[in-house]
Amino acid sequence: MVLSLDDLDLKLIHALHVDGRAPFSRIAAVLGASDRTVARRYARLRSTGGVRVVGVANAGALGLTEWFVRLQCAPDTATRVAAALARRADTSWVSLTSGGTEITCITRTRDRDETDSLLLYRLPRTPRIVSVTAHCLLRAVAGTRGWAGRTSALTADEAEQLRWREPAADGPVELDERLLAVLPVLALDGRADHPALARATGWSESTVRRRLDQLRRNDILAFDVDVDPLLLGYASETILWLTVAPAELGAVAAALATHPEIAFAAATTGPSNLVAFAVCRDHAALYDYMTTRLGTLPGLRHVESAPIIRRAKRSTSQVTTQ
């Protein structure tokens, strides 16, 4: 069942997009509601699995390489393979496309040995997987701070009041094991409170607060709202593989970053050199986007599209079939 959202819900989602860890008291003051009402609304949205604030670690800052993986499966096993991939801690955005026989996901590897183990041995040897292709994500070019087109419920002044205020610099960040321990906690719940993070690290709450600010200030950690597009009235999610003339790649990437239909895009290795996630109201809107905006970009040579028919996992949370 898809929830019906009112203006306060939409403003709350927008507020969390501006700063996923903004205190409910500050959000309530800006929205003209009570703290309790705002907290209750978020709890309702989160309990349905439709909205969740997540902490997203910067792969490059952690020395990780991201891969966009495409797996062709036998029709009778694709759902089970997708569910198994969704349970892995190193995967995100696990989806079924192309009539349910192709699975796509993003995964992270730490070094050459880990990459070889995953891409050359573990995945290809999974029963009933027919083929595996992996494309290295070279650079994210759109959607690095979340899908900008999700909502515009707040005024510019309201959004500015909610924006995270970067504290004064207090030295470089040392990525020790205790600091890294907060990342999986925040990946599951970006609004985990300081006591929970203190338990995960063994630090005091004041130290947790200071180190969390350091991670954000140094772009090692950001917060996003993992939201089901259906909640906002968007019924069409499509993966686009774009082949662009190398000389025009930068211009096309910059253009995609301005398109509200594009939730995420990245330059990749492989036969195509850009991958993008398009979110539209319906298939008619997708057609209009592809013919009137995407198709007119200079240097665009080829487009392959694959509608997402089921999500098994979004950024960090597995999707439960209703």
Taking alpha carbons only, the member of 43, 313, 54 closest to residue 189 is 54
**Residue 124: its pLDDT value, please?**
67
Q: Give domain status of residue 259, yes or no.
A: yes
| CB environment 126-156: b (16+ within 10 A), e (fewer) | eeebeebebbebeebbbbbebbbbbbebbee
Amino acid at 90: D
Number of domains in the chain: 1
- Using DSSP's 3-state secondary structure scheme, residue 269 falls into coil
- Using DSSP's 3-state secondary structure scheme, residue 291 falls into helix
**Residue 320: its pLDDT value, please?**
55
**Mean pLDDT for each 10-residue chunk of the chain (322 residues)?**
83 94 96 97 91 91 91 88 86 88 91 73 74 92 75 90 79 74 90 92 90 88 90 94 97 95 95 96 97 96 96 76 46
CATH number of the domain residue 276 falls in = 3.30.70.920
Range of the domain at 273: 233-310
Output the pTM of the full model. 0.87
Q: Give domain status of residue 294, yes or no.
A: yes
Q: Give domain status of residue 195, yes or no.
A: no
